[in-house]
Amino acid sequence: MPWQRLLEATARLPSGQPLDDWYGALLDRLGEVTPFELAVLGGKLAPTPGLAFLAGYQGALRLLWPSAPLSLGALCVTENRSVRPADMQTRLSGLSLSGRKDFVTAADAADWLLVAAREEAEGQPPRLALTVVRNGDPGVRIETLKPLPLMPDVPHARLHLDGAHCERLAGDGWDAYVKPFRSIEDLHVLSALCAWFYGVGRDSAWPQALQLRLLALLTGAAEVCRQCATAPAMHLLLAALFAEFKTVKPELDAAFAAGPAEWATLWQRDQGVLDIASGPRAKRLEKALSALGMA
């Protein structure tokens, strides 16, 4: 991680443009970066928590799939509020996909879509494949959903697939992709938001002690990013980062309240993003503690 790029003063990229244009401008500004650098440096350059989330999300996708195109992408797993393979109806037959995915992040702006689909033979236990389709290809349709109160600048959509041609990625869709992505996304989104806080803190002259604690979180995240995403140790270390963030949050809230209203309003609106996956994260920690003999 080139920490000097995080520490130096830089102007944020403007908001109010289409997501793919904003992301393209971010890539032009950053040049060639690792997934973690994309999350952190993109988070600092983001004008809103939602766009910081987007930078973290894109970084997570690229750690999951190192061969991902440079353009904006999305992971499509959820069906009817469930990510369990047994609950999925989307099917892969040969290289043809049919089904529906709900609540896909930034799907309308994404150029490529990673889609989890069942591929087991009739009567066999559910087995997932991870596939790639291109937005706009025959049989691929995006249904835009109403913006949510949380991060309205990063909309969600529903993906409809009707015999869409796809590419199948190597490996088991659940074990190699969907399962590890939960932790990868948590880490990269937390990192992107901490970088956003750090940028806001520099501009708003937050107490130096708070800025240093944010840097400590980011340096810890850089080490956690080096761990295997399915290893119990990674889940334990990730939980430690979130526990540390919890102790910093009251200071953050106070700093936002004492500073410019524009930043306080954005954070008040979007701060729930880090609580979205808290339940599954707690379960992973419980399993990790058991596996490490620490329960």
Segment 192-236, tens digit of pLDDT: 999 999 999 999 999 999 999 999 999 999 999 999 999 999 999
How far is 134 from 115, CA to CA, in rounded Å? Answer: 10
Q: What pLDDT is stored for residue 1 in this prediction?
A: 84
| Contacts of range 75-84, beta carbons closer than 8 Å, 24 or more positions apart | 75/104, 75/105, 75/113, 75/114, 75/116, 75/181, 76/101, 76/104, 76/107, 76/113, 76/114, 76/115, 76/116, 76/159, 77/101, 77/116, 77/178, 78/102, 78/103, 78/104, 83/178
Kindly report, as residue ranges, where domains of CATH 2.40.110.10 are found in the chain. 73-168
Mean per-residue pLDDT, 14-23: 94
Q: What pLDDT is stored for residue 128 in this prediction?
A: 98
Write phi, then psi, for 288 (nearest 5 degrees). -65, -45
Segment 120-172, tens digit of pLDDT: 998 899 999 999 999 999 999 999 999 999 999 999 999 999 999 999 999 99
Mean per-residue pLDDT, 74-95: 96
pTM for the model stands at 0.97
Q: Which residues contact 94 (CB under 8 A, 6 or more apart)?
A: none
Segment 242-268, tens digit of pLDDT: 999 999 999 999 999 999 999 999 999
Q: Is the dihedral of CA 60, 61, 64, 66 positive or negative?
A: negative
Fold exhibited by the domain 73-168: Butyryl-CoA Dehydrogenase, subunit A; domain 2 (2.40.110)
Residues of the chain above pLDDT 70, percent: 100
Contact 42, 55 (CB under 8 A): yes
